Amino acid sequence: MSTSSERRAELVAGAVTGHLDPAEQAELDALAAADPTVRAEVDELRAVSERIGALGSWEDTPAVRPAAEEPRRGRRTFLAAAAALVAGVGLGAGGALVVQQAADDPVGPAPEAPVASGPPGTLGVAEPVRFAADDDAADVRAVLIPHTWGTEAVLDVDGLAVGETYDVRFLDASGSPVSAGAFLGSEVEIHCSLNAAVLREQVAVLQIVGPGGELVRSAQLPTVAG
């Protein structure tokens, strides 16, 4: 940037925020008389500046609150799962490792240390599930935990019809269903764990089926190594 363009930037910024003294205002006026884009830019940037004012305040990224303070088990489950994924992917699809984060890491240490972690399919490691888009009012979240004896689905559910039965099942690569159990819709947010006698590497889809056989949620699961 040339000296003149730097001065132009200073004057425009001062004009936008209303901080020009009379001499600077005169300097800006002279600049604007010679360059019609100056006024336009002041107006455009002033609009941006005024819009930013709607934020009211800005909180700098604060220090980390230990995840152990979190009151909800479901939240901790997801934090642990995400932390495991982050650490696991960094080391590739190899074996398990221990999560160790630097003291100045802005989102802090894993909620429990040591934490077994690794890519999806690693025994004991929670894997967040991404359901396909839905248009109902329910809030359904899930993680999968592979075990030697099968696959565990841990659900947090809020907003499904109270008292109705919802079946949870996995589909294998051929589309054959394997039941993991069922739960009832509740007035309160529920947290439940259901198990299926099928290994994680053998399941391709997680489904929640409503009382009338309708598909409430469905998630394609990434292929994992056995």
Residues that bind other proteins (CB under 8 A): 6, 9-10, 12-14, 16-17, 19, 44-45, 48-49, 51-62, 65, 67, 70, 75, 78-79, 81-83, 85-87, 89-91, 102, 105-107, 128, 130, 132-133, 137-139, 158-159, 219-220, 222
Beta bridge partners of residue 127, listed in sequence order: 144
Q: How far is the CB of 208 from other proteins (least distance, A)?
A: 16
Inter-residue contact 160 to 166 (CB < 8 Å): yes
Q: How far is the CB of 33 from other proteins (least distance, A)?
A: 20
Tokens read off for 220? 């394609």
Burial 18-43 (b: 16+ CB within 10 A, else e): eebeeeeeebbeebbeeeeebbebbe
User: Which residue from 212, 225, 122 is spatially nearest to 167, judged by alpha carbons?
Assistant: 212
Q: How far is the CB of 110 from other proteins (least distance, A)?
A: 11
Of 116 and 219, the one with the shorter C-beta distance to other proteins is 219
Rounded Cα distance, 220 and 226, in Å: 17
Q: How far is the CB of 45 from other proteins (least distance, A)?
A: 4
Of 23 and 102, the one with the shorter C-beta distance to other proteins is 102
